[in-house]
Structure 1
Amino acid sequence: MQKKVILKNGLGIIIGAFIYAIAINDFLIPHQIGEGGVTGLTAIGYYALAIPPAFTNLVLNGLLVVIGFRYLERQTIWYSVWAVIWISLFLKLPHFIGYHTTQTLIPTVIGGVLMGIAMAIIIHCQGTIAGSTILAKIVNCYLGIPNGSAMLFFDLIVAIPSGLIIGFQNMLLTIIELYLSAVVLNKLLAKFGAKRAVTIISDQYETIAETLSTQFQQGITIIKAQGYYSQNDQPMLYVICTAKQLATLVPVVSQIDVKALVVVEEVRSVQAEQLKQLL
């Protein structure tokens, strides 16, 4: 089981690294749009001194990985090293899309969305892209600040001064791109852990509970409740399920009691030992 998890995370990180490299090589660098953190420094190094982004990425991220060894889990660090290696390799490849336009807002938006997707995949697979994501991960672990928000803070520290190299307009586009990537990152990380909390109120709660328990093979909580107006006892069922299970649950409840009240909420849930993933 552990080997399957490692393989799944390793492949996921490769996919995330590929998307990340496309965002940089095909949308950001060709249009003189900067970045934050180490990626921003690699872009500045390329614009100002023609230093290959792959080289700068490998050296600077290597230093931050060393810092991460002190504050993060070893598993996260090794996955981060794996991500940095693949990002550096993909950055050395020629452009896949070769897209160019004078409408700079288009690559800004596309680049920001792709960066957010790539980082979400990599972080979901227990890794980071090193750079500001390692610093963000440390802040997330110790202060509970969302990864995307913490990363945006560190990225802006590099992005704003980069205006001296790439110009004021491109600096503003860089800030837009960083904001979009942070929003996409936070949204996707929240979705990765999302489930549905279902509250069912019905006079036939016992039959519903037995049917759902048998069908889903999981525990169902019975909550003792009392109607305010009638003052009668009215137990409620509380179920945590996936979106796919919800599609089955609702018809089952309706077949047993067409008058049942079903309340559905989106929640984030993990096992106790994984509580830090909710941050």
Structure 2
Amino acid sequence: MKTFERGIQWGAIAVGALIYALGLNGFLVANHLAEGGFVGISLLLLYKLHVPIGVSFFILNIPLLIVAWRQFGHEFVLKTAAGVAGVSAFSEITQPVRIPLHDPLLAALYAGVITGIGLGLIFRAGGTTGGSDIIARLLRHHRGIGMGQTLFAIDFLVILSVMMLIGKEVAMYSLVALFVASRVIDFVIEGASSGRAMMIVSDHHHDIIEAIHRELDRGTTLLQARGGYTGASREVIYCVVSRDEVSRVQRIIESIDPYAFVTVNPVHEVLGEGFTFDGEASSSGRRRKKWL
């Protein structure tokens, strides 16, 4: 099973690199837009010096991969090298793919979606595309600087360079593509099975629980709690539902106890019965459903 799972991961990195390269050439290069990180540097080298993206991107990452090999685990470096090599190779292979659009905003949106899907697949498989990510890991390891700060600083400097060398409009549209890509990456990594976690404090918790079980066929959990002000013991209902079921739970609560205290929090990924398992529940599954 481990061999099969590893094969799936390496395959996902390859497919992700191909999709990313298609978005890179098809929409960013075709519409003269830019990107953040080392790919953004490679795009600047392409636009100003006509250096192929695959060549410059691969060369820029070689010293970082050597340093990372000595600092981090070999599996991380191998998967990162696969991502770098895949993006470099596919960016050359997919050069003929060009989809010029009259609307640069539309090009930025499509570029963000497609490159985000590609990067999301690579990240979900445990790989990266090197560059900024390796620098951020090195600075965190040696200087204690947060990865988010480093990645933001590098993207900021690259986009600032784009603004000075190419133009502010290109930089602004490139920021749109970066933002869309970041949201799509989160979606791919976290999965489509996101939901909402609801915490319900009510004196009529038994009635609410029965209604949720009966009308939504969702499980619930009772948490023992104590009021911070009164010191009284309370039972809090914890329930995870899909996004479209939140309003149904709210209507149930309102019909039973309009004065109930309710919080709703996003859950990025939900695994288990009712979300990723739809088969006939086993005895253990039925016991789990009773409590969750």
Aligned equivalent of 1:236: 236
Aligned equivalent of 1:42: 42
Give the partner amino acid of 1:52: P
| Contact 2:21 2:94 (C-alpha < 8 Å) held by counterparts | no
Task: Quote how far apart the aligned CAs of 1:26 are.
Answer: 0.8
| Contact 1:223 1:237 (C-alpha < 8 Å) held by counterparts | no
Encode CA deviations 1:150-207: one digit per residue, 9 max, x unaligned.
53421222232244543444334334433443454456556679564344665549x9
| 3-state SS in 2 of match to 1:160 | helix
| Contact 2:205 2:237 (C-alpha < 8 Å) held by counterparts | no
Aligned residues, how many? 259
Aligned equivalent of 2:111: 111
Q: Which blocks of at least 5 consecutive residues in structure 1 are unaligned?
A: 271-279
Aligned equivalent of 2:166: 166
Give the partner amino acid of 2:103: Q
| Contact 1:58 1:84 (C-alpha < 8 Å) held by counterparts | yes
Aligned equivalent of 1:29: 29
Aligned equivalent of 1:131: 131
- Alpha-carbon distance in structure 2 between the residues aligned to 1:47 and 1:171: 14
TM-score scaled by length of structure 1: 0.69
- Give the alignment's Cα RMSD to 1 decimal: 4.5
Change (3 A) 1:72 1:193: farther
Encode CA deviations 1:37-64: one digit per residue, 9 max, x unaligned.
2212222222233222111122112222
- Alpha-carbon distance in structure 1 between the residues aligned to 2:14 and 2:218: 34
| Contact 2:83 2:122 (C-alpha < 8 Å) held by counterparts | yes
- Alpha-carbon distance in structure 1 between the residues aligned to 2:241 and 2:26: 37
- Alpha-carbon distance in structure 2 between the residues aligned to 1:80 and 1:165: 30
Give the partner amino acid of 2:113: V
| 3-state SS in 2 of match to 1:236 | strand
TM-score scaled by length of structure 2: 0.66
| 3-state SS in 1 of match to 2:98 | coil
- Alpha-carbon distance in structure 2 between the residues aligned to 1:236 and 1:168: 52
**More deviation, 84-93/62-71:** 62-71
- Alpha-carbon distance in structure 2 between the residues aligned to 1:39 and 1:85: 13
| Contact 1:9 1:125 (C-alpha < 8 Å) held by counterparts | yes
Encode CA deviations 1:2-22: one digit per residue, 9 max, x unaligned.
334322322222222122101
Aligned equivalent of 1:277: none
Q: Which blocks of at least 5 consecutive residues in structure 2 are unaligned?
A: 271-292
- Alpha-carbon distance in structure 2 between the residues aligned to 1:5 and 1:19: 21
| Contact 1:225 1:236 (C-alpha < 8 Å) held by counterparts | no
| 3-state SS in 2 of match to 1:127 | coil
- The 5-angstrom pairing of residues 63-74 of structure 1 reads 63-74=63-74
Encode CA deviations 1:87-130: one digit per residue, 9 max, x unaligned.
12211224575311232222222213333332233222211111
Task: Quote how far apart the aligned CAs of 1:234 are.
Answer: 4.2
Change (3 A) 1:12 1:242: farther
| Contact 1:58 1:88 (C-alpha < 8 Å) held by counterparts | yes
1:121 aligns with 2:141: no
| 3-state SS in 2 of match to 1:118 | helix
Give the partner amino acid of 1:106: L
- The 5-angstrom pairing of residues 32-111 of structure 1 reads 32-95=32-95, 97-111=97-111
Percentage of matched positions with identical amino acids:
21
| 3-state SS in 1 of match to 2:93 | coil
| Contact 1:122 1:128 (C-alpha < 8 Å) held by counterparts | yes
- Alpha-carbon distance in structure 2 between the residues aligned to 1:179 and 1:58: 25
- Alpha-carbon distance in structure 1 between the residues aligned to 2:150 and 2:181: 12
- The 5-angstrom pairing of residues 140-151 of structure 1 reads 142-146=144-148, 150-151=150-151
